[in-house]
Structure 1
Amino acid sequence: MKKNIIISCIILVISVLLNADVLFKLDDPLGDDYGNGSVIYPENPMFDEPIFDLISFEFSEKEENYIFNFTFAARINPVKHAEFQFSYDLPDDFILPLIHIYIDKDHMKNSGFTETVFGTNILLEEESGWEKAVIIASMPQRYSGELERLQPELYRNITVLGPLLSKDEKTISARVAKRNLGEINEDWGFAVLVMSQDFSQTIRKNIYIREVNSTASQFNFGGGHSSILKDFDPNVIDLLVPPGSDQKRVLNSYDQENKKLAELQAVYPYTSSLISNKAVGEVKQVSSDKVVINLGSENGVEVGSQLIINHKIVVIAEDVFAQLTIASLKAGSSHLEITEGMKVTLLNK
């Protein structure tokens, strides 16, 4: 009898993702660093390469931190390598890309903020209202101070961090304490905006974002509207959009005459195309040190597979041998509130 039970199901024990596990990776089209479709880079040689062309966003966790990795199409040179000398002081490690990440934690209408930081000239849709945000900016203390002064209500829900640049200078990273954002679940959505940082921009409710004007100049983008009409014209160079959406359409959806900003929907990595259509099993046994799950024998589950239980993301930790995997839940994981009989959903890899 025992032999028949083992053959008919795979018994798995899962552990919480805590060891630098990649939770998801989202790709962005190459060559779409044109904002609304018409944006032209500034004329200064510092902007010769596509340093604002985001090609992937990877989200991981390690111990008590989340790790954001943004990879770009070109090498991002710090301004210390630039031949041009700025009229204002910048640190040697100052880089031009500025990244805003707005996180919707519940995917509910009329929940969270739809307003974003001054200068983006973009809103989040009502169903993508954000509860927490992360900004990756050079000189984060100065950026944070201006944000607190101009938008104190938003400031209290935003973490501002300096960028960490990879050895090949193509990936910008930031490490955020989990306590600042909370525990990720399947409802989280991410709105990612890529702009250029400019500390000379302190006008028109603009927090250090390089503007997209009608004509490109040494240090401003072209392809937008004139400076007079900048109140509603987005200053975003690249962004992530959900499947089926279009960056050009999103960034051209503003209406200057009717004073309407463009609206963006967040991307939800753990819904629709990334989640299988059916539950693959259920929780069989729960104890203080392990969770046992009964799964069908032909469901594509393997080591590293990600599962969702009670809106929490967990991972299969060890090799399967004789259709049995044994691993312990990490200490402090009782907050998962897993109980017997809960359904288990498999995330497609």
Structure 2
Amino acid sequence: MKKAILILIISLLLISAIPLTTNALVKPGQTVTVGVDLAHGESNKYLDYIMGNITFVNWKIINESFTATVLADVDILLIGQPTASLSPEELDALVKWLSKGDKVLYVAGDSDYGGGVNSIAAVNNLLEYVGAKLRLEQGAVYSPTPCRNYTYKGVDSPVCCGAYYRMTAFVEPDNVSELFTNVLDEGVQYPILMHGPTAVIWQDEMGNYHDPVNETFPGLIRIAWYHLAYIGDNQAPNPFVYDPLIYGTGDWNFIAYAAEYHQEKNNLIVVAGESLYGDYEPAWASSYYNVTLDGPKFVTNLIKWFIRILETYDPITRLETIAVFSDPVGDDKGTGTFLYPTNPVFQPSIYDLVKFGAYADDNFIYFRTTVKNLGGNPWNGPNGFCLQNVQIYIATTSEALPISTNSIGLGVQIWHGWHYAVIAIPGWGTTPYPDGEVSVLFNANMSMLADEYNNNTVFDVYLSEAEPNTIEVKIAKSLLADVENIRNWIVFVALSSYDGYSEGKVRGVQTGDPGEWVLGGGDPLAILAGVQPKVIDILAPTPEAQYAMLTSYDTANNIPAKVSGVKLLGLLEPGVGATVTETQTITTTKTEVSTTTKTETSPVTDYTITGVVAGVLLLVIIVMAVTMMRKK
């Protein structure tokens, strides 16, 4: 783990970018295959023009149901405005296809006019099934006539083509240099046609819908925009995001094309409010009602962009994804009142846990903890970070192992107990925690099983090369019992502020305003009673769930707050008074890569668990979407 200083500096610089390798499944210069779906009610309008002009790919027309065999040779799949939903078997085939990695899926819909409502439902069902966040709005995007102009690249172009429903969209992609989004608008001078379209929105793991104009998520790429537009609502159901009472008039911006990038598998999912082929008048159009359009250029650029993604990046080694959880952004407030220390080194969001993942290969377990902002490495921690103290508590299914409910310097109790604890800290010196600053793995008796300095071949802590702002822990399976049941393990993940001079190497909390080196916002009664939690963020589905857990202490009886972890897969048995609610079915994939790739897919159930702990604690534990990640 300990690297020469030059190598460390270079590796840290690379963390901010997605590493590019030359071992992509699609080699530079290799011809990719684009599959075009015509099996679900899509029209083939303009498809001959598209295939006749874009000759640098292999084209495959799909007129039959999706199966593993049908999709086997497809790299890019276009599903343009389906009018019939995919069957469960087809959806499973699509999930298996995506699980191989290095794939692009393009899906387009329609407005809610006429039969378009069915197209929207078909697209959204598909997107939900494959684990995407993007969705189509149940509505329509219009602009009043006479059509007004929008200035695009110095040229005034109309936002519609002579009628309120003949919308145009302007290719203005988010600048994501490592994903080559500049390719999308190269040479594009005019808008593209979106004939009778809807808008793109997104849905989080909690089922809440969001406006991508103002709310984004990691991996979102906004590609094309409607301007000076409003929302129409032609028939039930009502729009998910854009209430017609608000957005039904006025000059609004909406998203016409968007993509979400899944780095761990190098997959790209693109969603459009109208199709580039098969629509009443597809996006390939070069002019419409005397409006000059750049449809052919944009569609060509889009295919080139897809290929660029596939050619340049492939995970070095694929890991089995056990589970991946999202954590709300902006809940780095501990009990809900914490304030960062005032020294400038404590940048915003350095303790904001946003993602946690568990992965495995044949010999190791990997835990990845992602923060919104790592804050750099101002004190040159050997592990690539110096501000965070990450603790991961693991409860296996074994009844033979010693178990503890005490946390290590965090001031909380873990109600379901734990068998192993990971303390991931900056790594100075040679002395293991708690006396030193070297990361360790404990069992519940506080016996050290390994430290990163003396046992770094079986236990290591470092910055992940798979994802930016991510602290990765690597543990040999040989150190752990019950590995065969890892999907039934429960993990509690806590993020605190590292302080080598404080008890437990955890920065303290005081009442009122923060100090230069001390957190503020503590509860005076909890501090007096010795039960003040020192955790800034924990893995929890909502800020409210976190705050409820961390404030469940009893100052009168000196009882610490009780907190809970999440089960890596499936149902965590609730405590007294708890209820279990099934929310959805998700799919996990297991991929092993050597000289060949094998894929297994199995359905699992995602649960919401609510319970009362110590009479007042609301525990809500939701297993987030499972995605494939790659090894460092």
TM-score (norm 1): 0.64
1:195 counterpart = 2:496: yes
Determine if contact 1:133/1:159 at 8 Å carries over to the other structure.
Answer: no
Aligned residue type for 1:112: I
Measured after TM superposition, the shift of residue 22 of structure 1 is 1.6
Aligned residues: 262
- Alignment match, 2:208: none
Measured after TM superposition, the shift of residue 198 of structure 1 is 0.6
Determine if contact 2:552/2:561 at 8 Å carries over to the other structure.
Answer: yes
Measured after TM superposition, the shift of residue 171 of structure 1 is 1.1
- Secondary structure of 2:478's partner? helix
Measured after TM superposition, the shift of residue 193 of structure 1 is 0.6
Determine if contact 2:320/2:591 at 8 Å carries over to the other structure.
Answer: no
RMSD: 3.9
Q: Which runs of 5+ in 2 are unaligned?
A: 1-88, 97-316, 453-459, 573-580, 606-625, 627-632
Q: Distance in 2 between matches of 1:42 and 1:174?
A: 27
Measured after TM superposition, the shift of residue 69 of structure 1 is 1.0
Match of 1:130 among 418, 428, 432: 418
1:232 counterpart = 2:531: yes
Tell me which structure has the larger Cα radius of gyration. Answer: 2
Spell out the pairing of 1:1-349 with structure 2 (5 A cutoff).
20-80=319-379, 93-106=384-397, 112-117=403-408, 119-125=409-415, 128-139=416-427, 141-146=430-435, 154-156=445-447, 159-161=450-452, 163-166=461-464, 170-182=469-481, 183-185=483-485, 186-201=487-502, 206-214=503-511, 215-226=513-524, 229=528, 231-241=530-540, 246-272=545-571, 305-306=588-589, 315=590, 346-347=603-604, 349=626
Q: Distance in 1 between matches of 2:427 and 2:555?
A: 32
Q: Distance in 2 between matches of 1:104 and 1:316?
A: 25
Aligned residue type for 1:347: V
Q: Distance in 2 between matches of 1:24 and 1:103?
A: 14
Aligned residue type for 1:240: L
Measured after TM superposition, the shift of residue 225 of structure 1 is 3.4
Q: Distance in 1 between matches of 2:358 and 2:377?
A: 24
Deviation digits for residues 138-195 of structure 1 (CA, Å, limit 9, x no counterpart): 12753425289xx996321665546412467511112111112231523200000100
Q: CA separation of 1:230/1:124 partners in 2, compared to 1, >3 Å: closer, same or farther?
A: same
Determine if contact 1:213/1:221 at 8 Å carries over to the other structure.
Answer: yes
Measured after TM superposition, the shift of residue 135 of structure 1 is 1.4
Q: Distance in 2 between matches of 1:78 and 1:252?
A: 31
Q: Distance in 2 between matches of 1:317 and 1:153?
A: 32
Determine if contact 2:418/2:444 at 8 Å carries over to the other structure.
Answer: no
Measured after TM superposition, the shift of residue 130 of structure 1 is 0.7
Aligned residue type for 1:146: D
The percentage of counterpart residues that share the same residue type is: 24
- Alignment match, 1:288: none
- Alignment match, 1:282: none
- Secondary structure of 2:569's partner? coil
The 4+ residue runs of structure 1 with deviation greater than 3 A are 90-94, 140-143, 151-154, 157-163, 166-169, 225-228, 242-245, 315-318, 326-329
Measured after TM superposition, the shift of residue 253 of structure 1 is 0.8
Q: CA separation of 1:346/1:29 partners in 2, compared to 1, >3 Å: closer, same or farther?
A: same
Aligned residue type for 2:496: M
Aligned residue type for 1:43: T
Determine if contact 1:132/1:158 at 8 Å carries over to the other structure.
Answer: no
Aligned residue type for 2:386: I
Aligned residue type for 1:129: G
Q: Distance in 2 between matches of 1:232 and 1:142?
A: 29
Determine if contact 1:80/1:93 at 8 Å carries over to the other structure.
Answer: no
- Alignment match, 2:158: none
Determine if contact 2:332/2:537 at 8 Å carries over to the other structure.
Answer: yes
- Alignment match, 1:296: none
Measured after TM superposition, the shift of residue 300 of structure 1 is 9.1
Measured after TM superposition, the shift of residue 346 of structure 1 is 2.5
Determine if contact 2:393/2:422 at 8 Å carries over to the other structure.
Answer: yes
TM-score (norm 2): 0.37
Measured after TM superposition, the shift of residue 262 of structure 1 is 0.4
- Secondary structure of 1:155's partner? coil
Q: CA separation of 1:57/1:64 partners in 2, compared to 1, >3 Å: closer, same or farther?
A: same
Measured after TM superposition, the shift of residue 92 of structure 1 is 9.0
Q: Distance in 2 between matches of 1:233 and 1:180?
A: 33
Aligned residue type for 1:213: Q
Determine if contact 2:389/2:498 at 8 Å carries over to the other structure.
Answer: yes
Measured after TM superposition, the shift of residue 68 of structure 1 is 1.2
Q: CA separation of 1:57/1:120 partners in 2, compared to 1, >3 Å: closer, same or farther?
A: same
Q: CA separation of 1:45/1:246 partners in 2, compared to 1, >3 Å: closer, same or farther?
A: same
Q: Which runs of 5+ in 1 are unaligned?
A: 1-8, 13-17, 82-89, 278-298, 307-314, 319-325, 330-343
Q: CA separation of 1:300/1:164 partners in 2, compared to 1, >3 Å: closer, same or farther?
A: closer
